Structure 1
Amino acid sequence: MDVFKTHGAFSWSELMTTDPAKAAEFYGGLFGWKLDTMPLPGGGDGEVYRVAKVGDTAVGGLMTTPKEAPMPPHWACYVTVDDVEATVARAQELGGTVLMPVTEIPTVGRMATLQDPQGAVVNVITYSMPVS
């Protein structure tokens, strides 16, 4: 199963934290992850996004918590969907809330953040390219 193409599959995990460099050192040492860096789209002043890899497979990312979204450090899950707009609409029909509307992530895809009626949060994503 290709989790990046399979509707309903958990496909990505992302850590938002105050110190991604220290987190990369910790998780890299703990799990043996290789961490590659890339410019953070929309990030300021040389901010980077760290891509965690198991072997050659990208499995997650680490980034600085955005200033406009103050929250404690946390891991977020992403679920692959065939159509992010349709999934957002369906979540609303089922009583969910849209915390972040559909957003284009350059070279990756389109994603949104949803909250279920009990308060749990999940990200949904439709990938525009293969993830390596």
Structure 2
Amino acid sequence: MTNPMQTHGAASWIQHSGGDPAGARKFYESVLGWTVSDMPMQDGSSYAGIVVGENPIGGFMPVPAPAGEWTIYITVDDVDARFKSALDNGAEGIDEPADFPGVGRMAKIRDPYGASISLITYESMQG
């Protein structure tokens, strides 16, 4: 089985954002039986990571957001090139490519049909 965090084009992470991160965490732990564990981040904060079996698959954004949504991250070989390609093909740039220490490089787009998705190249993929 291939690792989605190293496979270009694979869905590799899901992230919840909304007005009550702690409430959402409890809801999904109850409804789906997810294990949610606090994962330490490089900046000293923690991130509520969703673990299924032994594998982390996503998490809950620790900062409340005005509108709730799930974000899907797609692993790409080059965030900047794929972001530019998306824009060239009619997408709207929501979040420009940026580095997130300890994680990787990310960007977010809205496709020409109204759906948003995030692109990521994990630090483990970068040379």
Q: 1:33 to 1:54 in 2, by over 3 A?
A: same
Partner of 1:92: 87
Q: 1:41 to 1:94 in 2, by over 3 A?
A: farther
CA RMSD of aligned residues (A): 2.1
Partner of 1:13: 14
Paired letter, 2:18: T
Paired letter, 1:77: I
**Length-normalised TM-score, structure 1:** 0.83
After TM superposition, the structure 1 = structure 2 runs for residues 106-121 of structure 1, keeping only pairs within 5 Å, are 106-121=101-116
Quote the Cα distance in structure 2 between the aligned partners of 1:24 and 1:16: 10
**Length-normalised TM-score, structure 2:** 0.86
Aligned length: 124
Quote the Cα distance in structure 2 between the aligned partners of 1:78 and 1:126: 10
Partner of 1:35: 36
C-alpha distance after superposition, 1:50-70 (max 9, x if no partner): 10001220001102455xxx5
Quote the Cα distance in structure 1 between the aligned partners of 2:55 and 2:97: 26
Q: 1:19 to 1:41 in 2, by over 3 A?
A: farther
Segments of 4+ moved more than 3 angstroms: 38-42
Aligned-pair CA distance for 1:49 = 2.1
Quote the Cα distance in structure 2 between the aligned partners of 1:14 and 1:99: 16
Partner of 2:23: 22
User: Is the contact made by 1:65 and 1:71 (CA closer than 8 Å) also made in structure 2?
Assistant: no
Unaligned runs of 5+ in 2: none
